[in-house]
Amino acid sequence: MDCNIGVIRGDGIGPEIVSEAVKVLDAVGAKFGHNFKYDEILMGGCSIDATGEPLTKEAIEQAKRADAVLLGSIGGDAKTSPWYKLPADKRPEAGLLGIRKALHLFANLRPAYLYPQLNEACPLRDDIIGDGFDMLIMRELTGGLYFGKRETREVNGKIEAYDTLTYNEDEIRRIAIKAFDIARKRRSKVTSVDKANVLDSSRLWRKVVEEVAADYSDVTLEHMLVDNAAMQLVKDPKQFDVILTENMFGDILSDEASMVTGSIGMLSSASLNETKFGLYEPSGGSAPDIAGKGIANPIATILSAAMMLRFTFDMDKEADAIENAINKVLDEGYRTIDIMPAPGKDASSIKQVGTTDMGDLIVERL
């Protein structure tokens, strides 16, 4: 099978971790008889440096011609990078928001799974971890505060700013349907997270989610306020199956979920539209403080590539092969620095490796 993949290496550690994912994809292609073709696309800070824009029209057209897009990371150090002296709509993250909107990527899927080999890297107590947890956060990606009307202005001699949180019922309904469909393939439970005790947008969210739930009698629905959900993620994470939530809440909760898995470097991500097209990226940021040091964890990016094979190309056995190879590498005690055991825990059987070595090990286990 021929597959056309747009590749956005991006900024910071992005080029390093994407290179390892491409290496794994090439190994999968050789093993299973597929031909992965790559089209390099500029976005983010590197695009600002090259074109003056975080996302050009040409880059959007390139992405639209691809079957799927693999993304590394966007952005830099907000304190030192000249990119953050630019207006907000010219900064690296504007490119990410822009491509999500242009490609109609309304559904963001972030699995948070605790590998049994990484129990020692989880910051939670053993009695909380139990036999592990496996959740998926379904985040609405093209509405809410991040896309609402905003302005900074002077009123009566004082500077004020506002951001508008807006959702309509169609935006809520389509993400809710995605969540319930996926829950049917998992453990048939949806936890819808909102702030309905305060926000009108959340009260509409809850109403529409309940309407959708009426068509899924085999799926259990519960509602949870976002502040309680943040607490429950560290108190009892195994209670969750599919967490359904709006854009900003999902952004925050998915990062929290990543850390209870041991490292954000283990958390993959898929952003889907209403077709088979998806943009696949690790959930972590550009980590400019470690860029170029060869220590970044590429596993989240490699897992994102596996999600791409599964959701866009319907290559389940190929995705399984990647995931199994990662499990083998972890079983054998190989770790990047972010998932090394905490000080004081037994690390006698653990071997620390860098970014490239981790990619090579996964390829070998394929």
C-alpha to C-alpha distance for 131 and 114, rounded to whole angstroms = 9
List 7's β-bridge partners, or say none.
40, 70
* Residue-wise DSSP of 125-150: -HHHHTT--EEEEEEE-SSGGGTS-E
The residue from 113, 115, 146, 280 that is catalytic is 146
φ, ψ for residue 161, nearest 5 deg: -140, 150
3-state secondary structure of 79: coil
Residue 203 neighbours by CB under 8 Å, 6+ apart: 194, 196
Does the annotation mark 194 as catalytic?
A: no
The residue from 67, 255, 357, 360 that is catalytic is 255
Where is 69: in which H helix or E strand?
Answer: strand 68-73
The residue from 23, 195, 216, 241 that is catalytic is 195
The residue from 251, 280, 334, 338 that is catalytic is 251
The residue from 89, 181, 200, 227 that is catalytic is 227
* Residue-wise DSSP of 13-32: THHHHHHHHHHHHHHHHHHH
| Residue 193: exposure state from Cβ atoms within 10 A (0-12, 13-18, ≥19) | buried
Does the annotation mark 334 as catalytic?
A: no
- Which structure tokens are listed for 188? 């048939």
Does the annotation mark 241 as catalytic?
A: no
Long-range contacts of the stretch 113-119 (C-beta < 8 A, 24+) = 113/261, 114/237, 114/260, 114/261, 114/262, 115/261, 115/262, 115/266, 115/327, 115/330, 117/327, 117/330, 117/331, 118/261, 118/262, 118/263, 118/266, 118/330, 118/339
- Which structure tokens are listed for 2? 């021929």
Does the annotation mark 255 as catalytic?
A: yes
Does the annotation mark 181 as catalytic?
A: no
C-alpha to C-alpha distance for 357 and 334, rounded to whole angstroms = 9
Query: Of 286, 14, 267, 301, which Cα lies nearest the Cα of 137?
Result: 267
Residue 72 neighbours by CB under 8 Å, 6+ apart: 8, 9, 10, 11, 13, 14, 15, 16, 17, 18, 281, 282, 286, 301
Active-site positions read 146, 195, 227, 251, 255
